[in-house]
Amino acid sequence: MINEREISSLIKLLDDPDPQIFDHIEDKLLSYGNEIISYLEDAWEQSFDALLQERIENLVHKIQYQNVREDLALWHQSGGFDLLRGILIINKYQYPDLDEEKIINQIEAIKRDVWLQMMYEASPVEKVKLLNHVFYTIYGFSGNTSNHQNPLNSYLNQVLESKKGNQISLAIIYSIIAQKLDIPIYGVNLPQHFILAYIDELEQNEKEKAILFYINVFNKGYIFGKRDIDQFLRQLQIKPESFFYEPCTNTEIIKRVLRNLISSYEKAGANDKVDELVKLLDVLTP
């Protein structure tokens, strides 16, 4: 049972000039978690004290960040099977009041439009061409080539709104829609580029997945083969490794999203965000 009187008293003491007293009060309030956010917001609105308002803002952020870390750890520990859930957790780092249902509905709408046009038995290439038509022509998704380093390219709500994203955010949306339609398209963690692979479900065995072809989501869903990856790696002077050609785990995808965000915020000089995102990446790194 939450003690409203105690919370009210603690919030009033948040502007205490003694650092030790402040730290003690903050730790006590942090222990309440989500339960006190509404009390903190009310106190912020009623206050004219700039220091108190700033400390309340920082405290709310710490609670929300704590939630993201806990949710990400739980997602990872339970196997990280739901890619959409994983990327929504990352989204809540920047947008704690995110309307998750809205994002889920937006993705469902795209899936429904693909499904309505896929009423006949189509070959893998035909399925991808249809997906491309809906994704790029009807919905207008494209790679953000003019502002590629913008961190907004990594947040799903922003990508769905602007229809522009980086390689990995577009690939995440594309592959989630495909998998919801039972089309076996999965992410491949290629150096300096993120691509998708179409799996031949009839040919695969337990040890390895047979790849029919690859898809470059950043380039309008362009279809290509293994030789193109060979050439790409030669240009980068990188030794070919098997995992550059094979589907990666959802955890690896989320780790790459976090690395992209860290890079974007480093270039923007947002060191506080960099530190927080590095700690989120640590949650996924044994």
| Mean of pLDDT values over 98-107 | 97
Query: Higher model confidence: residue 65 or residue 40?
Result: 65
pTM given for the model: 0.89
The yes-or-no verdict on residue 63 having pLDDT over 80 is yes
Query: Is residue 115 domain-shared with residue 176, that is, in the same domain?
Result: yes
Nearest to 175 by CA among 166, 184, 164: 184
Query: Higher model confidence: residue 12 or residue 251?
Result: 251
Q: Lowest-confidence range among 34-38, 67-71, 237-241, 244-248?
A: 34-38
Query: Is residue 94 domain-shared with residue 62, that is, in the same domain?
Result: no
Query: Is residue 186 domain-shared with residue 268, that is, in the same domain?
Result: yes
Question: Residue 194 maps to which CATH number?
Answer: 3.10.620
- Residue 88 belongs to what domain range? 83-283
Tell me the two tokens of residue 123. 């070959």
Query: Higher model confidence: residue 147 or residue 222?
Result: 222
pLDDT of residue 208: 54
| Domain stops at, among 18, 48, 77 | 77
Query: Is residue 48 domain-shared with residue 172, that is, in the same domain?
Result: no
Query: Higher model confidence: residue 55 or residue 271?
Result: 271
The CA distances from residue 193 to 129, 176, 216, 282, in Å, are 21, 18, 9, 22
pLDDT of residue 221: 96
DSSP string, 142-165: EE--SSTT-GGGG-HHHHHHHSEE
pLDDT of residue 206: 47
Residue whose structure tokens are 């709310």? 60
Q: CB burial class (10 A; 0-12, 13-18, 19+) of residue 56?
A: buried
Number of structural domains (the chain) is 2
Tell me the two tokens of residue 230. 């060979």
Mean pLDDT of the chain: 91
Buried b (16+ CB within 10 A) or exposed e, 232-266: bbeeeeeeeeeebbebbebbbbbbbbbebbbebbe
Q: Lowest-confidence range among 3-17, 149-163, 223-237?
A: 3-17
Query: Is residue 58 domain-shared with residue 132, that is, in the same domain?
Result: no
Query: Is residue 183 domain-shared with residue 149, that is, in the same domain?
Result: yes
Q: Are 12 and 21 in contact (CB under 8 A)?
A: no
The yes-or-no verdict on residue 270 having pLDDT over 60 is yes
| Domain stops at, among 61, 77, 93 | 77
The yes-or-no verdict on residue 284 having pLDDT over 70 is yes
Query: Is residue 238 domain-shared with residue 108, that is, in the same domain?
Result: yes
pLDDT of residue 204: 54
Tell me the two tokens of residue 52. 């108190």
Query: Is residue 110 domain-shared with residue 203, that is, in the same domain?
Result: yes
Query: Is residue 189 domain-shared with residue 101, that is, in the same domain?
Result: yes
Among 15-19, 53-57, 170-174, 188-192, name the most confident range. Answer: 170-174
Query: Is residue 103 domain-shared with residue 46, that is, in the same domain?
Result: no
Query: Is residue 153 domain-shared with residue 269, that is, in the same domain?
Result: yes
Q: Are 277 and 261 in contact (CB under 8 A)?
A: yes
| Domain stops at, among 31, 62, 77 | 77
The yes-or-no verdict on residue 205 having pLDDT over 60 is no
DSSP state of 270: -
% residues pLDDT > 70 (the chain): 97
Query: Is residue 132 domain-shared with residue 224, that is, in the same domain?
Result: yes
| Mean of pLDDT values over 14-42 | 82
